[in-house]
Amino acid sequence: MTRYLRRGGPRHDGRLRMFCFPYAGGGASAYAGWQRRLGTGVEVLPVQLPGREGRMTEPRFTDLPALVADLDRELGEELDHPHVLFGHSMGALVAFALAQHRRARGERLPLALLLGAHRAPHLPAPPLTHGYVADDAELMRGLAALGGLPRVLLDRPEWLAALLPVVRGDLMLCEGAGSVDRTPLPIPLHTFAGADDRLVTVPEVREWSRYSTEDCETVVIPGGHFYIREQESAFLDRLCEALRRYETVHRTGVGGRDFVATPQTVGV
């Protein structure tokens, strides 16, 4: 099994797969419990990036194209099965970049992208994404303002000291957004925005619509940047609604197809 995946049980080839990419500083544990909540129609596959949690001793990627190429190599066989990609914040950027990488190589694409709490790639990055050059205090203030520092971390300075380098590395990774191909993808996009997000506004999330030739819908969730924690139940209800149509397509074959594009070079 690839080091990128954490399966809670045996592999299920008969189910739709949802690969879940974490936010900056996060790991696969961010999606603990989602399998139980989302039910048996989808196999939830949290992606564990190197340099955190169970892969803490491995070098972190700070170059987005390099990470995406490695993900494609490691997950290639898994991605040959009907799937969707989900990502929150930095994870949304990684999911989009992986889909673009596979489109350019003529490989199987996901049935849909589900992207949350990240502005569309053509929009300028917010100041916090340059936080890897800030001192610890400034970076912690920025994360705390977004709700990105759980109370348990504030009470355990040794844990916080281990987390901040991971966050900085991930913010460097996000600097690679400009290198991602912006060709509209021939798959639906489902985007999610926090109504009170101080980092990414609802209009900025709606701008993702230009990156799909299919439908693109935006769902606004109560809460801030980390609504997936603050309003987990409300968010997962809406995520279930989006997933249901792809579970049906996968089971019946009605309306579903593999989106495979001819490799091409596009400059934007």
User: What pLDDT is recorded for position 4?
Assistant: 96
Closest CA to 128 of 152, 150, 147: 147
DSSP 185: B
Determine how β-strand 16-21 pairs with β-strand 216-221: unpaired
pTM of the model: 0.87
Residue 222 pLDDT greater than 50, yes or no: yes
Q: For the residues 124-149, what does the mean pLDDT come to?
A: 67
Alpha carbon distance 204, 94 (integer Å): 17
Helix (H) or strand (E) holding 233: helix 232-252
User: What pLDDT is recorded for position 74?
Assistant: 96
User: What pLDDT is recorded for position 147?
Assistant: 62
Determine how β-strand 189-194 pairs with β-strand 216-221: parallel
User: What pLDDT is recorded for position 139?
Assistant: 74
- What's the pLDDT tens digit per position in 93-131? 999 999 999 999 999 999 999 999 999 999 988 766 554
Share of the chain above pLDDT 70, in %: 81
User: What pLDDT is recorded for position 257?
Assistant: 38
- What's the pLDDT tens digit per position in 176-191? 888 899 999 999 999 9
Please, what are the domains in the chain?
Answer: 16-124+180-252 (3.40.50.1820)
pLDDT band at 265, cuts 50/70/90?
very low
Q: Which residues pair with 114 in a beta bridge?
A: 86, 190
Residue 251 pLDDT greater than 60, yes or no: no
Q: What are phi and psi of 166, to 5 degrees?
A: -65, -45
